[in-house]
Amino acid sequence: MALDKNGIAQRIAQELQDRWYVNLGIGIPTLVANYIPEGIDIEFQSENGILGMGPFPWEGEENADLINAGKQTITALPGASFFDSATSFGMIRAQKVQLTVLGAMEVSETGDIANWKIPGKMVKGMGGAMDLVASAENIIVAMQHTNRAGESKLLPACSLPLTGVGCVKKVVTDLAVLAIDPLRGFVLLERAPGVSVEDIVAKTAGRLVVEGDIPEMKL
Amino acid sequence: MALDKNGIAQRIAQELQDRWYVNLGIGIPTLVANYIPEGIDIEFQSENGILGMGPFPWEGEENADLINAGKQTITALPGASFFDSATSFGMIRAQKVQLTVLGAMEVSETGDIANWKIPGKMVKGMGGAMDLVASAENIIVAMQHTNRAGESKLLPACSLPLTGVGCVKKVVTDLAVLAIDPLRGFVLLERAPGVSVEDIVAKTAGRLVVEGDIPEMKL
Amino acid sequence: MIQKVVPNAEAAVEGIADDMTMMFGGFGLCGIPENAIAAVRAKGVKGLTCISNNAGVDGFGLGLLLETRQVKKMISSYVGENDEFERQMLSGELEVELIPQGTLAERCRAAGAGIPAFFTPAGFGTEVAEGKEVRHFNGKPHILEHAFDADFAFVKAWKGDEAGNLIFKGTARNFNPMMAMAGKITVAEVEELVPAGQLDPNAIHVPGIFVHRIFEGAHFEKRIEQRTVRPRA
Amino acid sequence: MIQKVVPNAEAAVEGIADDMTMMFGGFGLCGIPENAIAAVRAKGVKGLTCISNNAGVDGFGLGLLLETRQVKKMISSYVGENDEFERQMLSGELEVELIPQGTLAERCRAAGAGIPAFFTPAGFGTEVAEGKEVRHFNGKPHILEHAFDADFAFVKAWKGDEAGNLIFKGTARNFNPMMAMAGKITVAEVEELVPAGQLDPNAIHVPGIFVHRIFEGAHFEKRIEQRTVRPRA
């Protein structure tokens, strides 16, 4: 059975390593914060200027001066710090943030990502996504395997305007976990519970490497 | 009679204008702070990271964490701020500091300045001088008209390694006040009290423009 | 000390004119110069180029200047949720230049730090890089970006003093410090204006040298865009 | 929260090795990492390239590493008052690269901000510009300068917390924040180390993400170089 959004987030959370600073994009990535494994210390960075971001405030305690990059009211944990946008993207470009998780419309078999613009539709802007994908050493894309029309979002090449080139390292979808090997394409690592390799093959338009037995995810 | 160091500083202080931020170099320039005209608000910047620098501390109140760029203990006035060296030179390069006063070994008739290195002698470094002279809109050099050997320090071209090119706007020496017109050379504006034009002509090796009556400085 | 206090927002925007380039601090509606926006609107200047991470919402923030058609061009990273903006953009009335957020921040910082141009990896291989110089450093491609040039910068701080020193609060800091550094004329509005000497000189986020005019805002609405909360048990 | 506390200076310099490039914060003797310098000296590593605005004095600051001939090369803006330094430099034992102070600061900042190179006007037309690319912006010549690359950065702050957040005091801030941002491994020594949550998150000068190890210095001499005072009447 394909994963729901929370399932995708839960699987991505297994990638977290102790002492990592992590930037979570809007949407599914935000949910990753709900599944941090026991015994792992993580600090969340939000590019609008906070390290040590905590959960949403208790009702009535929301503060207009304390939001995340999704413009949601948040809290700050002990040890948090606030800083300006230049410093924030400074730490992103200088690769002080160990993991970036973000959504995508398309990912290519060489790790290109498109997630900001659909020609002919209203364009809202790339926000911080281009800076994040150009700099992060470790980028995981969280998305559905196919779009609403049932077409694969894992492609030989992106058809939409790019956000970044050759930057995605791993993709977690409702169907699978895939690593990107720039020379070979999408390397299937895990299947969602009950999802068959055949199903994944059918829904992956880009080159797909299937080697040996592909285990089911453990959630 | 030629001016002493305090005289040179006193004359330079007449150049100060209300609401200027000013950076004073080591030596004679530092003395300028003692002669701020009545009714003029000035804030002193020291490039090691303070705006609103005050006078030396009272005996016994010196603080190792509060020094100027000459490494002297200082005080901070109300409204002062501390900042890092990148921000400090940021404000210098962005021309937020209206006046820089510094010493020199040589100045050329096109406004070049040499004040950091004598080949064959121990070189201590340029410190912040190259940043200051490359960026300041308004640079006044405070120096003796001649060196210890009696040779002019106002030259057709500097013989020493340069600190900056075409940047000096005005020179105040023990003998004279001179503007630099990059097309014409040193333009004599004022004589020190009792110093003759002939004396200044004799001691200026670079092109010197003497137009009309040259007034004596008023100190 | 050099006095920077002006009596109010109206006095603070003195000198603004048609076709100027203006920076506005803030991220979404957080930390925006509400009083200056109102004063710019009241002045009725037209043809503005606005550099701001976002473009406000209908009826608030920079949305107020869009409503009155004072803006010719927006330079932003994300132009979010704004129907009037969308209408003007699609009809061709409004020009929009989209810039990666980090590049936007760094181009402001560069302006305030006297750095005319710098290399950044952001946007390489995308349409953002079109026409820009590409150079590799440590084997990685970067593009050359330039400092902004703004006639006015309008920023909002939590506290400020007569000398123009500013302190921000929480994530309302965002673009405000770099824009304060970048403006040819920088106008700061603060929630609390105090005499010189009352702020800890170690705690200043923007030294007064960067601020030309400061005033205490008459009113701050501080609207919340996405009120997300945990319900109490 | 990610814990950055190490027990002492010795633990903090773990991993330093011969021929590394190290940054040391401070301006003159103000704000220098006294405890780390002592620990680097005790480790006896050789062939170091040191990036520091100054080179200490005889018997204090980086003078201590010169004394033991651990330094192969100094990268500084001003190498002041140090007989041993002068002797080693004149004898050719010590390599010295002099850099304009603002360029030194900006090259540290660039490293910590992921900007590989930038243009600055400082040094144009001087020997500092030799071999460097020159480009005009707004009619003014600038030279291209590159980010530093440092294996370790040693900085000194006033207060710090377990998460590595730093606050500086007075002009002891100077190069420390940018060097903290720039180090591959950044070691901060503080006068007072407090639990996370005790520092005002608005007042942090260096967010903990830039700091890999933090400890409370056993002792700070804080020597004054030029004791200038006004005599009491």
At C196 the pLDDT is: 97
Residue C215 has pLDDT above 80, yes or no: yes
Average pLDDT of span C205-231: 96
**Residues of A noted as catalytic:** 47
Name the one residue in this structure whose structure tokens are 């944990």: A77
Q: Which of B15, B43, B47, B109 is catalytic?
A: B47
Average pLDDT over residues D149-158: 98
pLDDT (average), residues C169-184: 98
User: Which residues in chain D have Cβ-Cβ distances shorter than 8 Å to C142?
Assistant: 116-117
Token representation of residue A73: 């009211």
Check residue C75 and give its pLDDT: 98
What gap in Å lies between CA D167 and CA D190, rounded to an integer? 9
Read off the pLDDT of each residue in C95-113 and give the average, rounded to a whole number: 98
Min Cα distance D46 → chain B (Å) is: 24
Instruction: Tell me what pLDDT residue C233 has.
Output: 73
Does B63 have pLDDT greater than 80? yes
Closest CA in chain A for residue D110:
A90
Residue D233, pLDDT > 90, answer no
Does the beta-carbon distance from C126 to A129 stay under 8 Å?
no
Q: Which residues of D108-128 are buried (b: 16+ CB within 10 A; e: fewer)?
A: bbbbbbbbbbbbbbbbbbbeb
By Cβ distance, the residue of C119, C173, C202 closest to D169 is C202
Subunit contact C204:B81, Cβ cutoff 8 A? yes
| Cβ C98 vs Cβ D95: under 8 Å | no
Confidence of residue C62 (pLDDT cuts 50, 70, 90): very high
Average pLDDT, chain C: 97
Q: Is the pLDDT of residue C81 over 80?
A: no
The whole-number pLDDT of residue C232 equals: 85
pLDDT value at C145 more than 90: yes
pTM exceeding 0.90: yes
D-contacting chains (≥3 CB pairs under 8 Å): A, B, C
Q: In this predicted model, what pLDDT tens digit does every residue of A38-57 receive, in sequence order? A: 999 999 999 999 999 999 99
The residue-averaged pLDDT of D65-91 equals: 93
Q: Which residue of D has its CA nearest to B135?
A: D121
Across residues B155-161, what is the average pLDDT? 98
pLDDT, mean of residues B68-83: 97
Chain D partners of B65 at a C-beta cutoff of 8 Å?
Answer: 30-31, 158, 169-172, 222
Contact A56 C101 (CB under 8 A): no
pLDDT reported for residue B85: 98
Map chain C to HEC letters: CCCCECCCHHHHCCCCCCCCEEEECCECCECCCHHHHHHHHHHCCCCEEEECCCCCECCECCHHHHHCCCEEEEEECCCCCCHHHHHHHHCCCCEEEECCHHHHHHHHHHHHCCCCEEEECCCCCCHHHCCCCEEEECCEEEEEEECCCEEEEEEEEEEEECCCCEECCHHHCCCHHHHHHHEEEEEEEEEEEECCCCCCCCCCCECHHHCCEEEECCCCCCCCCECCCECCC
Residue C8, exposed/middle/buried by CB under 10 A (0-12, 13-18, 19+)? middle
pLDDT tens per residue, range C181-191: 999 999 999 99
Q: C129-142 pLDDT, tens per residue?
A: 999 999 999 999 99
Q: Where are the extended beta strands (E) located within chain A?
A: 20-24, 42-46, 50-54, 75-82, 99-102, 106-108, 113-114, 139-142, 154-155, 170-172, 176-181, 185-191, 208-209
The average pLDDT across C60-76 equals 97
Residues in A touching D209 (Cβ below 8 Å): 21, 43, 45, 51, 91, 96-97
What is the rounded average pLDDT for all residues in chain B?
Answer: 96
In the structure, do chain B and chain A come into contact, i.e. share 3 or more CB pairs under 8 Å? no
Residue D82 banded pLDDT, cuts 50, 70, 90: confident
pLDDT tens digits, residue range A171-214? Answer: 999 999 999 999 999 999 999 999 999 999 999 999 999 999 99
Q: Which residues on B lie below 8 Å from C214 (Cβ)?
A: none
Q: What pLDDT sits at residue C90?
A: 87
Determine which helix (DSSP H) or strand (DSSP E) holds B82, and give its type and residue range: strand B75-82
- D174-183: average pLDDT: 98
pLDDT of residue D230: 92
pLDDT digits (tens, 9 = 90+) for A129-166: 999 999 988 999 999 999 999 999 999 999 999 999 99
Q: Rounded mean pLDDT of chain D?
A: 97
Mean pLDDT estimate for chain A: 96
Find the closest chain C residue to B79 by CA distance: C196
Q: Given this model, what pLDDT does residue B207 score?
A: 98
> Is the pLDDT at C80 greater than 80, yes or no?
no
C-beta separation of D206 from D177 below 8 A: yes
pLDDT tens for A111-132 read 999 999 998 888 899 999 999 9
Using the predicted structure, report yes or no on whether residue D146 has a pLDDT greater than 90: yes
User: What is the number of other CB atoms lying within 10 angstroms of the CB of residue C17?
Assistant: 12
CB contact under 8 A, B90 and C114: yes
> D-chain residues within 8 Å CB-CB of B131?
100-103, 120, 122
Would the CA dihedral through A47, A49, A54, A55 be positive or negative?
negative
- Touching, D vs A (3+ Cβ pairs under 8 A): yes
Q: What is the pLDDT of residue B120?
A: 83
* Tokens encoding A187: 């390397």
pLDDT for residue D81 is more than 80: no
CB nearest D114 (choices: A41, A52, A90): A90
- Measured in whole angstroms, the distance separating CA D57 from the mean position of its chain's CA atoms is 15
DSSP letters for A101-145? EE--SEEETTS-EE-S--TTSPP---TTHHHHHHH-S-EEEE--S
Nearest to B73 among D168, D177, D228 (CB): D228
Contact across the interface for B82 and D168, Cβ inside 8 Å = yes
- pLDDT, one tens digit per residue, over D2-30 is 999 999 999 999 999 999 999 999 999 99
- Please give, rounded to a whole number of angstroms, the shortest distance from the CA of B78 to a CA of chain C: 4
Query: What per-residue confidence (pLDDT) applies to D80?
Result: 74
Contact B95, C114 (CB under 8 A): yes
